[in-house]
């Protein structure tokens, strides 16, 4: 009798685990581009692979004309079909107003959640210092892409454009696979 109960429990646990297959995010590339080199310079923009399963990226952007008092951020998610096509969202927000009340921007606040613990992008304008994102891992993305939203597997690009004083000054692209 005990053996049957044990086998039943093992069977139910296996069914549960098979039904809970999660997609995993794997970073594949990162591109940082200073469009206006008189305004911003990327000191470093790296994707670091510690081992096969643990990767993170680190970025440091030096602002050359400070303080920054007017900034907009355009962020979009693209899925690779034959080329990268817009997928799911593409939003532009006022960066200075955003940090005053993050909850007013539901889509942008979910993007902010990725960066809040590993960056110094956590206050309103004026920005008078370099922008640093330090060791952002794929684990930050895994929860949102597998538990919160059900994304199809494939190759994606997360693109961010920084529009400062009505001109695009820098571009950031993070490429990743969802498996």
Residue 149: which CATH number?
A: 2.70.220.10
Cβ(23)–Cβ(178) below 8 Å: yes
Domain-embedded: residue 133: yes
Domain-embedded: residue 52: yes
Domain-embedded: residue 168: yes
- Say which residue the tokens 């597997």 belong to: 153
Domain-embedded: residue 165: yes
Cβ(164)–Cβ(71) below 8 Å: yes
Domain-embedded: residue 61: yes
Residue 42 sits at the vertex; the CA angle it makes with 88 and 143, to the nearest 5 degrees, is: 35
Domain-embedded: residue 18: no
Query: Residues 43-94: pLDDT tens digits?
Result: 999 999 888 778 899 999 999 999 999 999 999 999 999 999 998 788 898 8
List Cα–Cα distances, 138 to 88, 131, 175, in angstroms.
19, 20, 11
Domain-embedded: residue 111: yes
CA terminus-to-terminus distance, the chain: 41
List the one residue out of 56, 73, 65 whose CA is nearest residue 121: 73
Query: Residues 126-167: pLDDT tens digits?
Result: 889 999 999 988 887 776 666 666 778 899 999 999 999 999
pTM across the whole model: 0.80
- Say which residue the tokens 């695009």 belong to: 168
- Percentage of residues of the chain with pLDDT beyond 90: 47
List the one residue out of 45, 70, 83 whose CA is nearest residue 127: 70
pLDDT above 90 (res 120): no
User: What is the distance of C-alpha 1 from the center of its chain?
Assistant: 51
Domain-embedded: residue 54: yes
Q: Give the domain extent around 116.
A: 25-178
Query: How many domains would you assign to the chain?
Result: 1
Phi, psi of 111 (to 5 degrees): -70, -40
């Amino acid at each position: 009798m005990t053996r049957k109960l044990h086998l039943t429990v093992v069977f139910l646990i296996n069914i549960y685990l098979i039904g809970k297959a999660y997609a995993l995010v794997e970073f594949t590339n990162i591109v940082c581009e200073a469009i206006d080199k008189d305004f911003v310079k990327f000191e470093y923009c790296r994707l670091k692979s510690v081992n096969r399963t643990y990767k993170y990226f680190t970025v440091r952007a030096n602002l050359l004309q400070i303080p920054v008092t007017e900034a907009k951020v355009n962020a979009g998610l693209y899925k690779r079909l034959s080329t990268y096509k817009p997928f799911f969202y593409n939003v532009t927000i006022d960066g200075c107003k955003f940090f005053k009340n993050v909850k007013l921007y539901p889509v942008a606040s979910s993007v902010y959640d990725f960066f809040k613990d590993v960056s110094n992008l956590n206050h309103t304008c004026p920005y008078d210092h370099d922008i640093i994102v330090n060791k952002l891992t794929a684990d930050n993305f895994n929860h949102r892409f597998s538990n919160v939203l059900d994304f199809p597997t494939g190759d994606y690009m997360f693109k961010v454009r920084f529009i400062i004083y009505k001109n695009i000054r820098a571009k950031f692209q993070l490429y990743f696979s969802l498996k």
